[in-house]
Homo-oligomer: A and B are copies of this chain.
Amino acid sequence: MFFLTPVLVAVVCILIVWIFKNGDGSSKRRKGEPRARAEVRPWVDEDLKDNTDLHQGEEDANDWQESEEDVEHIPFSHTRYPEKEMVKRSQEFYALLSKRRSVRFISNEQVPMEVIDNVIKTAGTAPSGAHTEPWTFVVVKDPDVKHKIREIIEEEEEINYLKRMGRQWVTDLKKLRTNWVKEYLDTAPVLILIFKQVHGVAASGKRKVHYYNEISVSIACGILLAALQITKVYLEKVAFTSSLML
């Protein structure tokens, strides 16, 4: 799905920054960290640098004591398919996923929200650094909000094309025949915005580092893509007859 491509995942990260700058963030906003990050080094992921002090370490030790009881322990059970079945399933899954395309022309046909819920829950099964699950999925259906999002994304993408990404970026994209105009953000009946949480908040109210948050949320996006392709929930009126993706 177009809004899950790396570019747009990244764009959504800018989006969250933009929203914070205008004091109109989602309930899951991380109290301005993204803005701070953006001002200092936009685009650079610093989630592997531990910026907590020893005292914070102690706090979290206590937090674990509290949260330990909340952890739901689910017995692990596992059955294995016979080799032939394994091979067959891997072939079928490859055949199905190789049909996925990052199309730029999306149908306005409605999709069942139950499916959207299921694919997001599926994405939430992704592994994450220290099981921090540093992602927030926001489903947008309201036409006005979708259009506002389109305006923000187009504004950021125009900066990409004209300034931020430099000449090679523009050259590279020529062959994809893309630009910063994203009409499909109005057309699609549903947008799923994916936010990376650069920090969590401990029971103590202190910040908790989310290790590998960009890697973790991107892995979740990959699983979301697979779930969407499995359900073939989307329908394109027109699509590039091309195997190129962005």
Question: Which residue numbers of A lie inside 8 Å of B, CB to CB?
Answer: 4-7, 9-10, 43-46, 48-50, 52, 54, 56-57, 60-61, 64, 67-68, 71-81, 83, 86-87, 89-91, 93-94, 97-103, 111-112, 114-115, 118-119, 121-122, 125-132, 164-176, 208-209, 211-212, 214-216, 218-227, 230-233, 235-236, 239-246
Contact = CB atoms under 8 A, between A and B. Distances in A.
A163 B44 CA distance: 22
B71 A90 contact: no
Nearest to A244: B131
Contact of A94 (B122, B176, B212): B122
B86 A232 contact: yes
A44 B48 contact: yes
A24 to B, nearest CB: 25
Contacts of A67: 175
Identical subunits present: 2
A10 B218 contact: no
Given A100-B125, A115-B86, A171 B61 contact: yes
A174 B64 contact: yes
Given A6-B128, A44-B46, A94-B227, 11 more contacts: A4-B219, A6-B129, A50-B166, A87-B115, A97-B223, A131-B245, A132-B172, A165-B211, A219-B219, A222-B226, A223-B225
A243 to B, nearest CB: 5
